[in-house]
A and B are shown apart, each in its own frame.
Chain A
Amino acid sequence: MEAIYQYAWLIPVLPLVGALVVGCGLVSFPEATNRLRQLNAVLIISLLGVSTALSFALLASQVQGHLPYRQMLEWATAGDFHLQMGFEVDPLAALMLVVVTTVALLVMIYTDGYMAEDPGYVRFYAYLSLFSSSMLGLVLSPNMVQVYVFWELVGMCSYLLIGFWYDRPAAAEACQKAFVVNRVGDFGLLLGILGLYWSTGSFEFDLTGARLADLVHAGDLSGLIAAGLAVLVFLGPVAKSAQFPLHVWLPDAMEGPTPISALIHAATMVAAGVFLIARMFPLFSSIPLAMEVIAWTGAFTAFLGATIAITQNDIKKGLAYSTMSQLGYMVMAMGAGAYSAGLFHLVTHAYFKAMLFLGSGAVIHGMEAVVGHNPASQDMRLMGGLRRYMPKTAFTFLIGVLAISGIPPLAGFWSKDEILGATYGASPWLWLVGWGTAGITAFYMFRMYFTTFEGKFRGDDTRLQAQVNQELGIHSHGDHHGHSHGHPHEAPWTMTLPLLILAVPSTLLGLVGTPFANYFEELIHTPGLESAAAEFEWSEFLTMAGSSVGIVLLGITLAVSMYLSRRLDPAAIAAKVPFLYRLSLRKWYFDELYDSLFVRNSRRLARQVLNLDARVVDGLVNLTGLVTLLTGQGLKYLENGRAQFYALIVFGMVLGFVVLSAVT
């Protein structure tokens, strides 16, 4: 078994090779490479396929109890400072490898159908492969610096992919916003890493945690500073996993093509934040204040995302807020100390959310036949009744909706229930937020399902179309791709196959982490602790499960009566609470707030500094000393074309000086 460990580095390197080969081809021979189209895709998919196989082998070996394996290389040295890079395979890494490679592989297959008509087809595959490589590298990172390296690289891939359709202004702004907001988080992460190195002299995950705890215990370091460092590190996950207050980039990131929304902005990259918290768990868990901050950030984000998702009309934006909310659950679990529950939810969520996003992509793909290739194809107001046109998509989407809502025995039920159970032990208030949010989740997910797949098809209603187009700023009779006024259609098999495959783990995966037989926790348990198999009690489980299923059913009932049977009119309810409705629709006004607080002020400050530079600093320095005379009066003279003359004077003076010194 050792052999597969020695070759584990191939897992991130193979996709990198694929990306490099295709990328070089694109730069050197763009026409030829683009003409080869699917050949590129086949190359990249097969390379990732090898990585996937390797990942499964590693996971199997880890499940059988193989010891963690680590291989390091001296990376940078300066004096007595040595920094090593390498890779480490432990159960968590092996698990993440499998999640990332499987989702990435399915997304790549799906992409062939989704991007078939796009002129950037090959470039998209190159980016996807580059992303997979970075993400796999992140998962294998053995220390904080390497995590930071790949952390930024996945951010770069996200930037490139959000801005994939670079002729769209919205995409251009979204990708920049994503990168800059993530840099704010990275700023914290960097400072945190530096601070931890300063205090503990190590970049290792477990060493820093242990030493920091020792330092605080011995009184060498104030507990407040330790907590501050932990919170700085936490800023990284806050940005990457779209937690409040740095969540604003994720919904905008939906400007990217749908496959990457599924892969990067739902299943893998955004979950990296949770992964990092898990890696740094020894550090966080020794600082109660930091755990408190993490838990409440997660809880608030879960609630915030869910409340915004209720009113979104864009199917992808709705899913994006749902992702944010689900990530909030995971972060909350981590903060409450429920290590394996949080990671379990990460895994199940990765599969069902990837499926939901890919499903929404199939819907958009189908809708484009009706409304054209523009943002209107994502608007749920124009959908409805799509189940008749695309039954496979509808079926898998329903499974996803049931899974995320937490209906037993689907995957989401087990993981979410484990989180809720664990938070109840930590703080009933946290549990209350999570519990309430579960109800809202069920409501908005079923709202999404009903408005998209049930009822009457509204896409051919020209009046509604005109209204939506006007709202989205689309010129309906412009020279866009035009309105084909066809019927929505089911997606090709390359798109439906990944959906059907993803439906399997979305349905069954939960069964490996049931409270009465938790295989998941046996594999992934809190570092430093042996699998703490808590006493399982049916009565406790039934109360917890019963209460969460109860509120979920309440949410579903409400959604049925509002969006399926139409006994309640959503517009009337919205009109009754206009403030709350607008708050949700306008996303709690975060964009407006940040725009006026940060964006405008930083622009103004920059302009002021530039003015200062041009008027004051330049002027002052020009005016100082001898230079004054020469610029003031000399410039006129010099601009007469005799400037070269001056240069010669300087040089002549120097030469003369040397000669003079030599003679005397």
Chain B
Amino acid sequence: MNLAAFPWLTFIILFPIFASLLIPILPDREGKTVRWYALVIGLVDFAAIVYAFYTQYDVHNSGMQLVESYDWVPSLGLKWSVGVDGLAMPLVILTGFVTTLAILAAWPVTFKPRLFYFLMLAMYGGQIAVFAVQDMLVFFLAWELELIPVYLLLAIWGGKKRLYAATKFILYTAGGSLFILVAALAMAFYGDKVTFDMQELAAKSYPIAFQLLIYAGFLIAYGVKLPIIPLHTWLPDAHGEATAPVHMLLAGILLKMGGYALVRMNLEMLPAAHVYFGPILVVLGVVNIIYAALTSFAQRNLKRKIAYSSISHMGFVLIGLGSFTDLGLSGAVLQMVSHGLIGASLFFLVGATYDRTHTLILEEMGGLGQRMKKIFAMWTTCSLASLALPGMSGFVAELMVFVGFATSPAYSNTFKAVVVLLAAVGVILTPIYLLSNLRQLFYGPENQDLVTHQNLVDAEPREVFIIACLLVPIIGVGLYPNLLTQIYDAKTMQVTTLLQASVARGTPAAPLGLVYTAPPLAAAETLAKPA
């Protein structure tokens, strides 16, 4: 068999989905077969991902690889086309990795296990599809498709306010995705050729006003997902109600879809508009960092606290995207992967803690460290990773964003100084909320009420294994970032070259000139069309 010709990506996407369809007919006692089945499917798919990329993917190539394209609805020009580049590939691996671990994390689920694992496997394929498809309309379908399992997972297995949270989640994200649809259609029908192919869409030249509108539409849709303040309020609710495995997926992968799509569409397809929106992204990023860190500090509910910390960390992605430098963009991608791992581990630990204490209110805990030594150790390690301790991936990502932004040629020095200063305040705020969280959970005397009513057993090997798996790449990348950055370096360089070219076409103009050297609207309109 010719391995190079094998449709790897299609297989990787469809295998878990088709496998999930078999779940209803599996012979099963008490849901124990189903979870093994799901785990094996997850592992096989992950192995396929790793194998395919290991043998077929060339890291020096910045273009699309493992490309497949089949006509789907020819009358519409709709194609099933998939491919990965340096941007998508790490995220596909992350998805396979985190989803497989989430299946393992879902081991104790006993309520409707068939439906649960069915949805998990459907999610598996759907998530990868979002990162791999190269057709705008199929992208939109995959984006919507992956909402439904999440919605059901929230609404059926969630906490007390699960219906409110699930509804809010679906309304926000579905509402946001309407903008994707409208913008995608507008782009597809613009010009003389109707196409949904992303590369062809990127090659079209749009007038600047059109670009700005489309950009804003995408920004709202992806801003809900990432999330960007003030579109974030669904997240604490959804995260506050989700169970640990769903949580891991939400924080580990779904948030990254927002960041991925921002690069794929806003930066790559609309570089001229990005010149105007770049500083806005940066400012929003700073707001994310500080605002969410403060809310996290004040939050008394453990899940919501960690949920806000996710929002805060996504701020660095935004600053990196707005930096117009290799280093900043590279840092943004690294931050996505890194937070995918760290966020997943923290949320898993939140779930593990809740399984024992049956409360999420910090005041009702305390002194847990005396009975749950391993969980204490894992919490400490993951919290340190989250507060960007050197030696772990979060630090490298933040450092790259900082250095990238500070050396950005596009912005004025004053703007850079203010942004770096404010973003660095996050460096102080993050340990405040994470360490005070640790203190309230584990330090001090035991909470007698809790000790008498709950059985506080220490971590079982399965839990240690999951955290260990997540820590290996976190520490590996932290110790030697080139492991990961070289995978996508060619890609980020290509995107940055594109962006810097669009910045260079203009001359300083008021009032944006105060912030940086952006072209005036009229000038950009003529220049936006490549010669």
Instruction: Show the binding face of A for B, using Cβ within 8 Å.
Output: 26-28, 30, 74-81, 145, 148-150, 152-153, 156, 159-160, 163, 166-169, 171-173, 175-176, 179-180, 183-184, 186-187, 190-191, 194-195, 197-198, 602-603, 605-607, 609-610, 613, 617-618, 620-622, 625-627, 630-631, 634-635, 638-639, 643-644, 646-648, 650-651, 654, 658, 661-663
Q: How far is the CB of B487 from chain A (nearest CB, A)?
A: 12
B445 within 8 A of A: yes
Kindly list chain A residues whose C-beta atoms are within 8 Å of the C-beta of B432.
Answer: 180, 602
Q: Is the CB of A79 within 8 A of B496?
A: yes
Within the complex, the shortest CB–CB distance from B80 to chain A, in Å, comes to 12
What are the residues of chain A within 8 A of B326 when measuring CB–CB?
78-81
- Report whether B445 and A617 are in contact in the complex, using a CB–CB cutoff of 8 Å: no
List chain A residues, Cβ under 8 A from B174: 650
Least distance between A511 CB and chain B CB atoms (Å)? 39
Partner of A631, one of B144, B171, B424, B485: B171
Instruction: Across the interface, name the chain B residue whose C-beta is closest to A617.
Output: B230
Task: Kindly state the separation between the CA atoms of A180 and B172 in the bound complex, as whole angstroms.
Answer: 36
Which residue of A171, A173, A191, A621 is within 8 Å of B424 (Cβ)? A191
Partner among B144, B377, B420 whose Cβ is within 8 Å of the Cβ of A651:
B144
Question: Does B380 touch A at the CB level, under 8 Å?
Answer: yes
Contact of A76 with B485 at beta-carbon distance under 8 Å, contacts A152-B389, A156-B389 already known: yes
Which one of B380, B435, B446 has the greatest number of beta carbons of chain A within 10 Å? B435
A–B Cβ pairs within 8 angstroms, 12 of them = A75-B482, A77-B486, A77-B489, A79-B326, A172-B443, A197-B403, A198-B416, A609-B298, A621-B231, A631-B167, A639-B167, A643-B166
Q: Which residues of A contact B443 (CB under 8 A)?
A: 163, 166-167, 169, 171-172
A163 to B379, CA, bound (A): 14
Residues of A within 8 A of B482 (CB): 74-77
Q: Which B residues are CB-close (under 8 A) to A160? A: 380
Shortest distance between the CB of A125 and any CB in chain B (Å): 15
| A167:B144 contact, CB within 8 angstroms | no
B492 touching A79 by the CB < 8 A rule?
A: yes
Question: For residue A172, which residues in chain B have a CB less than 8 angstroms away from its CB?
Answer: 439, 443-444
Nearest CB of B to A476, in Å:
18
Assess whether B407 is in contact with A197, with CB atoms less than 8 Å apart: yes
Contacts of B170 in A (CB 8 A): 643, 646-647, 650
**Given A197-B403, A662-B73, A627–B421 Cβ distance below 8 Å?**
no
Residues of B with Cβ closer than 8 Å to A? Answer: 73, 75-76, 78, 137, 140-141, 144-145, 147-148, 151-152, 155, 163-164, 166-168, 170-172, 174-175, 181, 229-231, 233, 291, 294-295, 297-299, 325-327, 329-331, 367, 369-370, 373-374, 376-377, 380, 384, 389-391, 395-396, 399-400, 402-404, 406-407, 416, 420-421, 424-425, 427-428, 431-432, 435-436, 438-439, 442-446, 464, 480-482, 485-486, 489, 492-493, 496
User: Which residues of A sit under 8 angstroms from B431, Cβ to Cβ?
Assistant: 179-180, 183
Q: Is B172 within 8 A of A662, CB to CB?
A: no
Chain A residues near B400 (CB-CB < 8 A): 76, 78
B330 touches which one: A78, A156, A610 (CB < 8 A)?
A78
From A183, A617, A627, B428 is in contact (CB under 8 Å) with A183
CB neighbours (8 Å) of A654 from chain B are 140-141, 144, 181
Nearest-neighbor residue (CB-CB) of B442 within chain A = A166
**A180 CA to B433 CA, complexed, in Å:** 10
Give the interface centre of B140, B407, B428, B485 by most chain A CB atoms within 10 Å.
B428
Known: A179-B435, A605-B294, A606-B295. A79 touches B152 (CB 8 A): no
Q: Quick check: B489 and A78 within 8 Å, CB to CB?
A: yes
Nearest B residue to A610 via CB reads: B298
Distance of A644 Cα from B151 Cα, bound (Å): 8
Closest to B170 in A: A647
A167 close to B367 (CB less than 8 A):
yes
The answer to whether A75 and B445 have CB atoms under 8 Å apart is: no
Across the interface, name the chain A residue whose C-beta is closest to B374.
Answer: A27
Report the minimum CB–CB distance from A22 to chain B (whole Å).
13
Report whether A169 and B444 are in contact in the complex, using a CB–CB cutoff of 8 Å. yes
Question: Closest Cβ of chain A: how far from B333's Cβ, in Å?
Answer: 10
Q: Contacts A153-B390, A194-B406 given: A635-B164 contact, CB under 8 Å?
A: yes
Chain A neighbourhood of B171, CB < 8 A: 627, 630-631
Contact of A191 among B330, B384, B420 (CB under 8 A): B420
Chain A residue with Cβ nearest B291? A609
**Shortest CB distance B324–A (Å):** 12
A662 to B71, CA, bound (A): 12
A166: B residues at CB distance < 8 A: 369-370, 376, 442-444
Chain B residues with Cβ below 8 Å from A150 are: 390
The interface residues of chain A lying within 8 Å CB-to-CB of B480 are 75
Given contacts A179-B435, A198-B407, A654-B144, contact A79 B489 (CB under 8 A): yes
Residue contact B151 to A613, C-beta cutoff 8 Å = no
Closest to B417 in A: A195
